[in-house]
Amino acid sequence: MDQKEDKADMGRRGFLKVATVGAAAGAAVIATSKTAQAADLSADADKASGYAETDHVAKYYELANF
C-alpha cells in the first residue's frame, strides 16, 4: 500500500470512530433532557387543579349550542 492510501484509510477510520462516539453522546444528551423534562411536567401536574372553564371555552360552548 502507498502511504497516501494508508492516510486515506486512517482518515476514514478516524471519522467513523468520531461519528460513532458523537452519535452515542448525542443520544445520551437527548435521553437525559427528556428525563428532566418529564420530571418538570410531573411537578407542574401537581399544581394544576384540573378543568377550568375559561372565557374562550365558554364562548365555544355558546357557539356550539351545548
DSSP assignments along the chain, one per residue: --HHHHHHHHHHHHHHHHHHHHHHHHHHHHHHHHHHHHHHHHHHHHH--S----HHHHHHHHHHT-
∠ CA 13-30-21, rounded to 5°: 15
Given a cut of 70, whether residue 2 has pLDDT beyond it is no
Cell matching residue 53: 372553564
Given a cut of 60, whether residue 8 has pLDDT beyond it is no
Cell matching residue 62: 355558546
Q: Give 9-47 pLDDT, tens digit per residue.
A: 668 888 888 888 888 888 877 777 766 666 655 555 556
Q: Where are the domains of the chain?
A: 3-64
- Report if pTM > 0.85: no
